[in-house]
Amino acid sequence: MSTSIIQSTKSAARTLSYALNRFRVGRDLPLLPLAILVPFVLIAVFANVIAPYDPIEPIPGAKVFEPPFWAPGGSVRALLGTDYQSRDVLSRLIFGARVSLIVGVTGTIVAGGIGTALGMLAGYIGGWVDQAIMRVTDAWLALPAIVFAIFLATMVGPSMWNIIVILGLVYWTRYARVIRGEVLSLREREFVKLAEIAGASRTRVILRHILPNVMNSTMVLASLTIGVVIIAEASLSFLGVGVPPPQPAWGSMLADGRSMLMVGDWWLTIFPGLGILLVVLATQLFGDWLRIRLDPQQRNL
Amino acid sequence: MGQFMIRRTLYAVVTLFILSLTIFTVVRLTGDPVTLMAEPGAQEADLARVRAEWGLDQPWPIQYAAFVANVVTGELGQSFNYEMPVSTLYFQRLPNSLELALTATLISFLIGIPAGILSAVRVNSVWDHVGKTIALLGLSIPGFWLGLVMILVFSVWLEWLPTSGQGDWRNLVMPAVALGWYFAASLLRLTRSSMLEVLNSEYIKLARLKGLPAFAVIAVHAFKNALIPVLTLAGINLVVMLNAAVIIEVIFAWPGIGRLLYEGIFQRDFPLVQGVVMEAGIMIVLINLIVDILYAYIDPRIRLTK
């Protein structure tokens, strides 16, 4: 029993190193997306070092709705202004990046993990397992993702970790469909047949022979899902069913800024939105690069 | 054809069954919906009374049967706050959502189709790059943020358009652009790839060999066939927009279905939330079924393969 766990851990590690080799890390990297994503990750990871103020406490002595430093009435004390509780917008943006990064990455891992696993099971085992998994996939795809996410979030209650699980549950269906389709043709290939004849167990065939061959697709889908998950989290937080206050998230910052839009307090709306825009744009560009890198047939398109 | 229709209809019924089971389970999985609805400090006796009133003291299979009965009769249950069938509320809001979704579809056509055709006809030209940029921004700019920025620019700074509410065309422009934005990008990509596929086909080569002017080849011969998948996507998008425009309708105070769902969330009206989500699922399963059948009607290859 324990040897089989060690076996599968080993094969997973081999899969990972194989995948990393395929990226040929270090060669013709996509500069524009990396120029956005690397600072974004660094800011998110080192938020507590970089942020000038505590994101959930008012700046002592500051007024509410101070504009950014270059606008009339602004000061360098709060570079990007203050919000309705005289909290520092810049510090909240920095900590908000952390929420977007955690939700974007872990939400994508949950979705990709569930979807890839179920897609492989459906495609390889077939029969009623396939039927059951694919009918659930169809049904869950029928609901618009955002409506499904809002529904789940309303029923489960707001917290960052709930949102991660919810977005994983909403977005796994896309992976399941694509991966199943690939496995249907993979399982007819010689190397899979030979492994079966050699007496490999189903688990071994799936982990050792199928998984490495669907990893490329999973990675490409994942790179494109991160942006979608980040926007979905921002939407949920905007509606008040996402990351609960006072924890700073870009979506809830937009919701806070909405009431002051009418009097022209633009910095509360512009900055968090630009954050989302830049990060999602970079993940999309990175995903395009990855797709072309991993699938030479796509290069001409 | 008959066999195909029966098989597809059965699939749709199974899909709806799983969907209803999912929605039913989620509402009850996370505990007692009554405690979600109740005011803080409500007495246990009151909670029990509400539970009895809503049939929540019954065993789950009986509750599920009641839920399905509500769906089949078309009522979708009673809203807790409005004390009306959810379907009545849904169909009251439907015309408003339809107005918004149709305008958004029009806007996504105006942006997506010309840009898609231009980038397909002139691959790797400036137009192609403009098209790729629009497609990329469509995915990256959240529609609701675009809406907020438009309010800031056109309502607050320029004072051209009203910030929210329903009225004449000026109330419609910003929410429709914000909603249509994302779909314009997906229409653009599909128009481009669909046109590219058609332009490489034999009959287009023949039309060119015959010496037809380029415009006639593109507009008459290619576009007509490339249009089929594009119109299909637009039809499905329209139904999605009807049901999924939650944030846009909240921002612009547009009294549509999305806002109904939002009200349901904040009034803790779980029958309303559950009913609206179910109705959205039904509409989308239906439109997919219709599209499948129409495609099979047009193309025998589809109805003959399994």
ipTM: 0.87
From chain A, pick out residues whose CB is under 8 angstroms from the CB of B14: 135, 139
From chain A, pick out residues whose CB is under 8 angstroms from the CB of B36: 155
Phi and psi angles of residue B78, each rounded to the nearest 5 degrees, phi first: -95, 135
| Chain A residues touching chain B at CB-CB below 8 Å | 135-136, 138-140, 142-144, 146-148, 150-152, 154-157, 227, 231, 234-235, 238-241, 254, 257-258, 261-264, 266, 269-270, 273, 276-277, 280-281, 284-285
Compare CB distances from B280 to A144, A155, A273 and report the shortest one's residue: A144
Contact B284 A142 (CB under 8 A): yes
Residue A2 has pLDDT above 60, yes or no: no
Compare CB distances from A261 to B36, B156, B266 and report the shortest one's residue: B156
CA distance B163 to chain A (A): 8
- The set of residues, in sequence order, having a beta carbon less than 8 Å from that of A160 and lying 6+ positions away, is A99, A102, A103, A243, A247
Residue B33 has pLDDT above 70, yes or no: no
Q: How far apart are CA A30 and CA B103, in angstroms?
A: 38
Tell me the pLDDT tens digit for each residue of B65-118.
Answer: 888 888 888 788 788 778 888 888 999 999 999 999 999 999 999 988 888 888
Phi and psi angles of residue A88, each rounded to the nearest 5 degrees, phi first: -75, 120
- The set of residues, in sequence order, having a beta carbon less than 8 Å from that of B1 and lying 6+ positions away, is B296, B297, B303
Residue A168 has pLDDT above 90, yes or no: yes
Fold held by A2-59+89-300:
MetI-like fold (1.10.3720)
How does residue B211 score in pLDDT terms, banded at 50, 70 and 90? confident
Percent of chain A with pLDDT strictly greater than 70: 89
Compare CB distances from B15 to A138, A154, A227 and report the shortest one's residue: A138
Please tell me the pTM assigned to this model.
0.87
Task: Give the residue among B89, B253, B258 at the shortest CA–CA distance from B172.
Answer: B253
Contact A277 B19 (CB under 8 A): no
Distance of CA B64 to the CA centre of its chain: 27
Distance of CA A145 to the CA centre of its chain: 14
Q: Which of B26, B137, B141, B148 is the mutation pick for testing A, counting most A CBs within 10 A?
A: B148
Q: How far apart are CA A25 and CA A15, in angstroms?
A: 16
| A266: amino acid identity, one letter | W
Contact A277 B136 (CB under 8 A): no
How does residue A175 score in pLDDT terms, banded at 50, 70 and 90? very high
E strands, chain B, in order: none
Contact B243 A144 (CB under 8 A): yes
Compare CB distances from A143 to B156, B157, B281 and report the shortest one's residue: B281
Answer with the residue of higher pLDDT: A221 or B78: A221
C-beta separation of A225 from A174 below 8 A: yes
Tell me the pLDDT tens digit for each residue of B124-174.
Answer: 788 888 888 888 888 889 989 999 999 888 888 887 887 777 777 778 889
Compare CB distances from A238 to B139, B144, B157 and report the shortest one's residue: B144
C-beta separation of B272 from B81 below 8 A: yes
Grouping H, G, I as helix, E, B as strand and the rest as coil, residue B78 is strand
CA distance A262 to chain B (A): 6
Interface of B with A in 263-282 (CB under 8 A): 265-266, 270, 273-274, 277, 280-281
From chain B, pick out residues whose CB is under 8 angstroms from the CB of A239: 246-247, 250, 262, 265
Upstream peptide bond of A244 is cis (omega within 30 degrees of 0):
no
Phi and psi angles of residue A264, each rounded to the nearest 5 degrees, phi first: 90, 15
Compare CB distances from B140 to A147, A235, A284 and report the shortest one's residue: A284
Percent of chain A with pLDDT strictly greater than 90: 41
How does residue A233 score in pLDDT terms, banded at 50, 70 and 90? very high
Tell me the pLDDT tens digit for each residue of A71-118.
Answer: 787 787 878 888 888 788 899 999 999 999 999 999 999 999 999 999
C-beta separation of A96 from A248 below 8 A: yes
Residue A121 has pLDDT above 60, yes or no: yes
C-beta separation of B100 from B252 below 8 A: no
From chain A, pick out residues whose CB is under 8 angstroms from the CB of B250: 239
Domain extents in chain A? 2-59+89-300
Q: How far apart are CA A225 and CA A300, in angstroms?
A: 23
- The set of residues, in sequence order, having a beta carbon less than 8 Å from that of A61 and lying 6+ positions away, is none
Q: Which of B80, B119, B145 is the mutation pick for testing A, counting most A CBs within 10 A?
A: B145
